[in-house]
Amino acid sequence: MLHTVNKSPFEHTALATCLTYARQGSAVLLIEDGVYAAAGDTAVSKQVQEALKRVSIYALKPDVEARGMQNRVMDGIRLVDYGGFVDLVAEHNAVQSWL
Amino acid sequence: MEQQTAGGVVKKFLYVNRRAPYGTIYALESLEVVLIGAAFEQDVSLAFLGDGVFQLAKGQDTMALEVKNFSPTFRALADYDVTKIYVDEEALQARGLREADLVIPVEVVSVERMAEIMESQDVILSF
Amino acid sequence: MKFGVVVNEGPYTHQASDTAYQFVKAALAKGHEIYRVFFYHDGVNNGTRLTVPPQDDRNIVKRWSELAAQHKLDLVVCIAAAQRRGLMDKSEAKRNGKDADNLALGFRISGLGQLIEAGIQAERLVVFGD
């Protein structure tokens, strides 16, 4: 399953909740304010790195760039454009948006 | 998952409710989708996580707010054959609620079980 | 593949409609089919033809209308949500005794059943919201 998270992890529990439910082998795509979770050296980066052992994590590049985060994305998080977003949706059986 | 029947395609629909009622309209408008959707004879489940569990709390009184108290509507779900209602155990506990505090009978499930339920769906609607 | 898309937030305040638009555009570019885009909650406000954004800003409503014209998209605005928020086409305005209508080109107003049907008919349903 593909999960999308569009909230900043610093003021919302959406990412934490998503990671609680995301099962081994599923994919998480960070979009909109969700991309702040992709940055290294933050209060949540350890939690994200831990999650990377179980799930694949992607971040939407246009959102990363818009927020000036392009040089701060942690290793292991893959950047995708909108076409990559479409591919991820097509590749997974269902999408859960953690609004 | 997806099944073919004489009446056409039956898909597994999961409605994920993670918002408290009244502060925003999402909870009410989600319930409206569930009720309309019931006519389509799909395999419907409702999941209540996080603040969504507050939607089911007994004792809601919206008189002074001048808005409709829609919590009694949950009782009508059974008439629409919507009976798979899952509530996250940790979300309930964290909010000081027990099963007896809810307006309808539900299945209280662990995070692991809820994750399984989510994984088995065809369509997941979250508002 | 056949995609269904749901937009739950209005234009400009939240990014949801922008992200949904870019997603739909990318899906079409890859040769996928968009079965329907369903606008619900404040998302119905994406369908007002009375929006006049500043010259240097994107015109979110017009962008949807143009994409709909190019690709014969089915843009559906939920009737119950639309009525709550003052969005109507000519016939709804007449039926409700209103002196104006404001539905943009390429959008149509219909019931929530269209959302469920999109879930049934599309192979994937993606929800964009707050």
Closest CB to B25 among C41, C115, C127:
C41
> Per residue in B52-108, pLDDT tens?
999 999 999 999 999 999 999 999 999 999 999 999 999 999 999 999 999 999 999
Give, in order, the Cα–Cα distances in Å from C80 to each of A28, B33, B81, C21, C87. Answer: 33, 10, 23, 23, 10
User: Rounded to 10 degrees, what is the CA torsion of A24, A29, A35, A39?
Assistant: 40
| pTM of the full structure | 0.96
Task: Give backbone dihedrals phi and psi of C123, rounded to 5 degrees, phi first.
Answer: -80, -25
CATH code (residue B23): 3.40.1260.10
Q: Domain A2-98 - what CATH class?
A: alpha beta
Tens-place pLDDT, residues A30-67: 999 999 999 999 999 999 999 999 999 999 999 999 99
B48 pLDDT tier (thresholds 50, 70, 90)? very high
A72: pLDDT confidence band, cut at 50, 70 and 90? very high
In this prediction, residue B7 has a pLDDT band, given cuts at 50, 70 and 90, of: low
Within a domain: residue B112? no
- At residue B25's C-alpha, the angle toward residues B24 and B30, to 5°, is 130
Burial of C29 from C-beta contacts in 10 A (0-12 / 13-18 / 19+): exposed
Over 70: is that where the pLDDT of B2 sits? Answer: no
* CB C112 within 8 Å of CB C76: no
CATH, residue C98: 3.40.1260.10
Domain containing B55 equals: 3-99+119-126
Number of separate domains in chain B: 1
The pair of structure tokens assigned to B61 is: 């009184």
**In this structure, are residues B38 and C115 in contact, taking their beta carbons and an 8 Å threshold?**
no
Q: Where are the domains of chain A?
A: 2-98
Res B36 pLDDT > 80: yes
Percent of chain B at pLDDT > 70 equals: 94
Tell me the chain C residues in contact with residue B9 when contact means C-beta distances shorter than 8 Å.
120
The tokens for B24 are 């925003």
Q: Is residue B106 part of a domain?
A: no
Tell me, yes or no, whether B67 lies in a domain: yes
Give the range of the structural domain holding residue C51, as residue numbers without chain letter: 2-128
| Per-residue model confidence (pLDDT) at position B127 | 86
> What is the count of structural domains for chain C?
1
Residues of C catalogued as catalytic: 78
Q: What ipTM describes this predicted complex?
A: 0.97
Interface test with C, best of A82, A85, A87, A98 (most C CBs within 10 A): A82
Q: Give the nearest partner residue to C120 out of B11, B33, B36, using CB atoms.
A: B11
C79-107 pLDDT, tens digit per residue, is 999 999 999 999 999 999 999 999 999 99
Q: Can you tell me the mean pLDDT for B33-61?
A: 96
Q: Is B1–A93 a contact, with Cβ atoms under 8 angstroms apart?
A: yes
Residue B110 domain-assigned (yes or no): no
